[in-house]
A and B are shown apart, each in its own frame.
Chain A
Amino acid sequence: MALATIRGTAAVFGDHVSADVVLPARHSFLQPEQMAEQVLMDLGPEANRKVREHPIIIAGEAFGYGTGRESPCRALRAAGVRAVIAKSFSRLFFRNALNNGIVVLQCPALASQPVTDGDEIELALAEGWARWKGETFAIAPFTDVVAKIVEAGSLINYGRQLLAAEKA
């Protein structure tokens, strides 16, 4: 499967939104739909509403840093988030998001633009660019096994493919 093109509207956040803010630990074991109701609620109902409405998050520095729990990423996925573009990420958020089918792109050039909630964003992963208001920004390609996980759609899908190939 080729790497997808993702089109969608933006939900914009600032710097240092920690993973504990994305989803507090006490909600780790909720069902996906309940997680979607709680995601980013520590920033208020408006933050929750916009992230459920817009599938592409644009954020500043260190989005999702802190706890290595995976539930914040599951919650974002349950809310319909397909991509996060930020100035920087912690390594655990990067891994956890990709493994749960959320494309994570470090792109300070785009993340520094005055993007507003609801703006259209287009991501062409195979071609390596992102577009906002007619402007194009380069994004680094995924390589090696990481590209395979992104292509498979999640780490679980990738694992399933590997195990099926072993059995065949």
Chain B
Amino acid sequence: MTGKTLAQKVLERTSGRSGLAVGTIVEATPDFSYSHDYAAWAIDAFEKMGATRVHRPDRIAVCFDHGIPPNSAKDANSLKRVREFVRRHGFAQFYEAGTGVAHQVMVEQGWIVPGSLSVCNDSHACSGGSVGALALAVGETEVGFLWAVGRLWFRVPATRKMVLHGRLRKGVYAKDLMLEIARQLGVLGALYEVLEFQGDALPALSVSERFTLCNMATEVGAKGGVFPYDAVTAQFVQGRAKLPFEPVHSDPDAQYCAEMQFDLGTLEPMVALPGREDSGVSVTEVAGQPIDQVFIGSCTNARADDLHIAADILRGRKVHPNVRLIVTPASRQAELDALKNGDIEALVEAGATLMPSGCGVCAGTHQGVIADGERCLSTSNRNMPGRMGNKNADILLCSPATAAASALAGCIADPRLVT
């Protein structure tokens, strides 16, 4: 009998089955689920199924983040409908627009806990792996089905071992590592797999950095990304966890479908070129190229530590006159932290436009849209054509440091050269 991976163990517990081989389809009951504005579609599905009772509302939360504050009466009415449904069915928690991007809020507020199965109708649900959860994305109809029926199907995933060695050098961040991972794997290179991060680099990686890595697991086609529960996780969830939990670890003899090794000390700042997340190159190859807008935001890279990195570069300086800088904190808590320590002040004084915490600019739903032929350098997770609302504009991805250095220079710039 070979050992089991974390993903196998979590799916065994939540499906009530044992000895689950990779590829088996199981029906499981998640420990927690959450949704955002698109809960409107889940409500549609719930009602069309003829359901009247929500299963385990004490394990469901909703956080508005996509189109907030709403642009139109139609959008406002849709949010109102969700609000009323959430109250009527007694969901555990409702977070009003402006609280933050749901993925960030659910980790920050302790709803996603180690060893749990968490689901959300959003591709970046995989972010919850940053605290040792098996955090999976599903569709909106599936969330309605979960509310109505109490379970969802999952294919037991293979797990890929991602071994991280060494320490990131100055000016190089978790985002650069993730863009390198995407470059090596391609946009579906880890299809259906769970990326399990291991190695001697882990104790030095914060939950925020782990979040950046797990968040973009979906950008290589993976089902999830996960960091094993350790002292860093323990410290983070202490006093924060809202649900009971038991950490789960892969067995030492667990089967992995593949293994990749990364020496963090050799990485450079990366920039993903327009069109695909796997098109990363060293910043040195594209330094000096023109940009029109810089976006520091999204669930990938807009927590307090990210804002601090950007503020340190821009403090006492001005954003280049040819560039617009938009900053959207990942959550209100991140914004508050950055307000109290002066980072927001430094960014705004430098010329940043501060936006309400949410998904808008990254998702291309509203605000921050770029013009035809323009180029936006972004700390977000996606750069396919049209992602930010205009198919005739280009999006490049990078770390908050590269974004801030470039906003200062007025063109793509290497953050290691900022003095």
Contacts and interface: CB of A to CB of B under 8 A. Distances in A.
Interface of A: 16, 18, 20-21, 24-26, 28-29, 42, 61-62, 65-71, 73, 88, 90-92, 95-96, 99-100, 143-146, 154-156, 158-160, 162-164
Given A26-B389, A91-B191, 7 more contacts: A62-B188, A90-B191, A155-B139, A156-B49, A158-B145, A159-B45, A163-B149
A100 B74 CA distance: 24
Nearest to B45: A156
Contacts of B121: 68, 70
Interface stretch (B207-215, B284-292, B380-388): B380-388
B142 interface: yes
B382 A67 contact: yes
A20 B382 contact: yes
B32 interface: no
A88 B124 CA distance: 20
Given A24-B386, A42-B386, A159-B148, A92 B50 contact: no
A105 to B, nearest CB: 15
Interface residues of B, number: 50
Contact of B386 (A16, A20, A143, A158): A20
Contacts of B391: 21, 24, 42
Interface stretch (B159-167, B308-316, B360-368, B407-415): B360-368
Interface string B213-250: 00000100101000000000000000000000000000
Nearest to A23: B386
A88 B186 CA distance: 13
B369 to A, nearest CB: 9
A160 B382 CA distance: 36
Interface of A: prevailing SS: helix
Given A26-B365, A95-B138, A145-B27, A20 B384 contact: yes
Interface of B: 25, 27, 38, 40-41, 45, 48-51, 66, 74-75, 78, 121-125, 137-142, 144-145, 148-149, 153, 155, 187-188, 191-192, 218, 221, 223, 276, 363-366, 382, 384-387, 389, 391
B25 A144 contact: yes
Contact of A21 (B74, B153, B218, B385): B385
A16 B276 contact: yes
A91 B41 CA distance: 19
A92 B139 CA distance: 7
Contacts of A65: 187-188, 221
Most B CB contacts (10 A, CB to CB) among A62, A144, A156, A158 go to: A156
Contacts of B148: 159, 163
B384 A100 contact: no
Nearest to A26: B365
Given A65-B188, A144-B25, A70 B141 contact: yes
Contact of A91 (B27, B38, B141, B192): B192
Contacts of B155: 91
Nearest to A155: B141
Nearest to B365: A25
